[in-house]
Amino acid sequence: MRLRTIDEPNTRSALGFCLFDDGSAEAGADAIGSVVCMAIVRDNQAENRYEIADGDELAGFAEYIIDGDVISFPHTETLSGNEGRGLARQLVEFALADARERQLAVLPKCWFVSKVIADRPGEYLDLVPVDARATYNLPLH
């Protein structure tokens, strides 16, 4: 089984998601085994979107379009009642890490995806082709 952890550096314990072969993900646990986060992220390929759920309830999604070796993100949405909890950022960071794993270039057409990339250029800017960065108000370097 293939696992990949995406660390969330702004937490006290080791928070992350493990990506499984079926495209689902589970929140990580800290060293003593306590659950850090109940959010679950998955790639819903049938709907062309990444989804984040809090327990059994869908909390948000990031739509995508794959064209060859490029993935574009036209829309990200946090569903009512889930705003302000950082779920959208977790979702987008997971999607960007998955794009990197799949060696896909990223076109952040959604303003929020572009913001996440701009907030952490050292981690994500290289995913966006240099000639497309100005289109999304991203630095060239």
Kindly state which CATH superfamily the domain 17-136 is placed in: Gcn5-related N-acetyltransferase (GNAT) (3.40.630.30)
Percent of the chain residues topping a pLDDT of 70: 73
- pLDDT of 7 higher than 70: no
**Do residues 61 and 49 make contact, with C-beta atoms less than 8 angstroms apart?**
yes
pLDDT in the model for residue 3: 30
pLDDT in the model for residue 38: 61
pLDDT tens, 64-102? Answer: 999 999 999 999 999 998 999 899 999 999 999 999 999
pLDDT in the model for residue 79: 95
Which candidate, 112, 22, 21, 105, places its Cα nearest to that of 65? 105
**Do residues 87 and 52 make contact, with C-beta atoms less than 8 angstroms apart?**
yes
Mean pLDDT rounded to a whole number for the chain: 80
- Beta-carbon count within 10 A of 98 CB: 21
pTM of the model as a whole = 0.75
CB crowding 129-141: b at 16 or more within 10 Å, else e = eeeebeebebeee
**Do residues 40 and 24 make contact, with C-beta atoms less than 8 angstroms apart?**
yes
- The total number of residues shown for the chain amounts to 141
**Do residues 43 and 98 make contact, with C-beta atoms less than 8 angstroms apart?**
yes
pLDDT in the model for residue 56: 85
- Each domain of the chain, given as residue ranges in start order, spans 17-136
pLDDT tens, 92-118? Answer: 999 999 999 999 999 999 999 999 999
In angstroms, rounded to a whole number, what is the distance separating the alpha carbons of residues 67 and 127?
15
**Do residues 60 and 77 make contact, with C-beta atoms less than 8 angstroms apart?**
yes
**Do residues 110 and 61 make contact, with C-beta atoms less than 8 angstroms apart?**
no
- pLDDT of 18 higher than 70: no
